[in-house]
Structure formats: structure tokens, C-alpha cells
Structure 1
Amino acid sequence: MFVIRRAIERDVFQVRKLLKEAGLNDKGINDHIEHFFVVEMPAEEGMTAQLVGAVGMEVYKPYGLLRSFVLERAPWNTKVGMNMIQILLSYAGKLRLSHVYLLAGASQEFFTQMGFSEIEHEKLPAEIQESEHVERSRERGTPMVYSCFPTRQH
């Protein structure tokens, strides 16, 4: 069983560790931890709870930049991954963000199934293009967008 919950300051070290182990960029996590969710295996007798996944975003109102989507292979299944993204997108809606952007690597098909669509780099809003994360990852990912309120255009 897993618990998906909002990240707190003390989770930063473990989130960064998960990202590094997965070969993902962990820079800037400290500045955005309030917009992260973690997947935790609850404590069992004699053991402490263990973080096995994380997803978060940088917020540049009215936009969000999804980043740091990671889940250890052992507990990985599509349902947990989908729940993580759905929770983050619901959170983006509560923040009244109009769109959530990301740079998808090998997981592009997964994000398409979650309602994201591919766009050109030039169509990324300036706030997103200027993000340190996007500047570092520009050549390694396909830009995608999710409309939090589908009636609006991006």
C-alpha cells in the first residue's frame, strides 16, 4: 500500500536522493518543495516509512512546470504513476493555474495518455522558458502542455 501526500521540508533530502538515483536533475528542488507530492510506503513494524516516489512542479502563475516525476522500479505501476500526476494536476487547478508544461523524455506517451499534448519550444511561455530547469533540459525533452481549464487556449 502507498500513501501520496504533500511534501514537507524534511522530505527534500530523500526526494533529491530519489532523483539522483534515477539520473534526474535535482537542482532547485529546495525552492519548490511546497509544490511537491511524495509517494510513501507506510512504516511497518520495526521500520520507518520510506519515500519511493515524488512529483512536483515549479509555479510561475498562471503556469506550472511539472518536473521531478520519479517512482522507484520495485513499486512502479501505471496506476500509482497516474494517481501521482492526477493529484498534481488537481493541485494545479486549485492554484488556478491555466496550464502545466513539462519536458517529456521517454515518458512522452504516458503524458499523452494523461491529457498532455506536444508543443514547440517557441510556444512555451517566457516564464517557463526562463526557468533554470527548462534551460538545462531544453535539448533532452519534448515540450508538452496540459490545459487545466480545457476551454482556454494555450
Structure 2
Amino acid sequence: MFYQLKVAKEKDLNRLVAFVDMAGVSSEGFECLIDYFVIMENEEREIVACIGIEPMEDTGLLRSLVVSDKLKQAHILTLFQSIQSLAEQKGLKDLYLVTNKEASVQFLSLMGFDEIDQEKIPSKLMALQHMKESANDANAKIMVKST
């Protein structure tokens, strides 16, 4: 199966929102963030994975990671490499993420993310609704990577 990565464009908004909503993930604010999303499409141009960044000054919060169960770990790795490249192009210095899955921590560590305590989250990121909601989860793990 052939997959293609690309930065989302405004014309991709409706199908990106539909893909994320189908997975039960919030698509709030996507219209303002569309060029901060990387999408992976299959041969039929169907979205099979996505990840986005919610920027705040020179920092970004990774959000809305949705991956089809048909993809392999190598595809997810490529998706993360692409979003990191996009962050660099956009001038973001640090990327933060929140996961509530312990199994993800090891994979993300291999990708260069370090787990941090919630007290070390910049206050500007705590102002983002997505970060506030995610960080309140009792199982939340906060990770950061400098680009």
C-alpha cells in the first residue's frame, strides 16, 4: 500500500475534520490551524493519519494524533518526523505533547521527547484549552522536544 504525506490545505479541512471526529477526537479550532497539520493519505486519497500543532509564540502543542489501525510503526515514525519538520519551518523551538498511554512514552522517547513534570509546562501553553483538558487526566504524561 502506498501512502503520501502532505501539509494540509484549506481544501482538506472538511475531510480532516470528518476523519478526526470519527475517531472521537476534538477538531475544535482546525479552521485556524489547518496549515499546522500533516496528513497521510492512501492511494485513494483517503486520510489514514494526521497530527497537528497548536502554536503559541515559538512553542507548539502536538494535538489530534489519529492513526488508522492499518498503519505500521514506521508510518507513525514518518508522520512524527514530518510534523517536526513542519514545526522547524514554522519557527517553533519546542514541541510539547500529552499522552495518557504509558506504551506511547517509550516510542516517543525514541523520537527524542523527554517526559517532564507538569510544573515545567510554560504558562503560555497552559492557557490553551487543549492543554488544560489533557493535563488534567490522572494518567497524563507531558513530554517535550526541542526542534
TM-score, normalised via structure 1 length: 0.85
Measured in 1, the distance between the counterparts of 2:30 and 2:109 equals 25
| Secondary structure at the counterpart of residue 33 of structure 1 | helix
Quote how far apart the aligned CAs of 1:114 are.
0.7
CA distance in 2, matches of 1:144, 1:24: 20
Q: Which residue of 2 aligns with 1:6?
A: 7
Structure 2 equivalent of residue 60 of structure 1: 56
Q: 1:133 aligns with which of 106, 130, 134?
A: 130
Matched, 1:93 2:92: no
Residue in structure 1 matched with residue 78 of structure 2 by the alignment: 83
2:105 pairs with 1:103: no
Shift of 1:32: 0.9
Name the Cα RMSD after superposition: 1.4
Q: Give the aligned residue type for 1:101.
A: Y
* Cα displacement string for residues 108-144 of structure 1 (whole angstroms, at most 9, x for unaligned residues): 2221111101111121112211111111222232111
**Deviation by residue 1:17-74 (Cα, 9 ceiling, x = unmatched):** 222232322222222111001101133xxxxx21111111011121011111111112
Paired-residue identity, %? 27
Q: Distance in 2 between matches of 1:30 and 1:133?
A: 15
Q: Secondary structure at the match of 1:146?
A: strand
Deviating above 6 A after TM superposition, structure 1's stretches of 4 or more consecutive aligned residues are none
Unaligned runs of 5+ in 1: 44-48, 149-154
What is the alpha-carbon distance in structure 1 between the residues aligned to residue 141 and residue 30 of structure 2?
21
> Is the Cα–Cα contact under 8 Å of residues 36 and 55 in structure 1 kept in the other structure?
yes
- Contact map agreement 1:57 1:64 (CA 8 A) in 2: yes
1:39 maps onto 2:47 in alignment: no
Q: Which runs of 5 or more residues in structure 2 are unaligned?
A: none
Please give the alpha-carbon distance, in whole angstroms, between the structure 2 residues aligned to 1:35 and 1:72. Answer: 20
| Larger CA Rg, structure 1 vs 2 | 1
Distance 1:109 1:13 in 2: 33
Aligned 8 A contact 1:15 1:53 in 2: no
Per the normalisation by structure 2, the TM-score is: 0.89
- SS of the equivalent of 1:27 reads coil
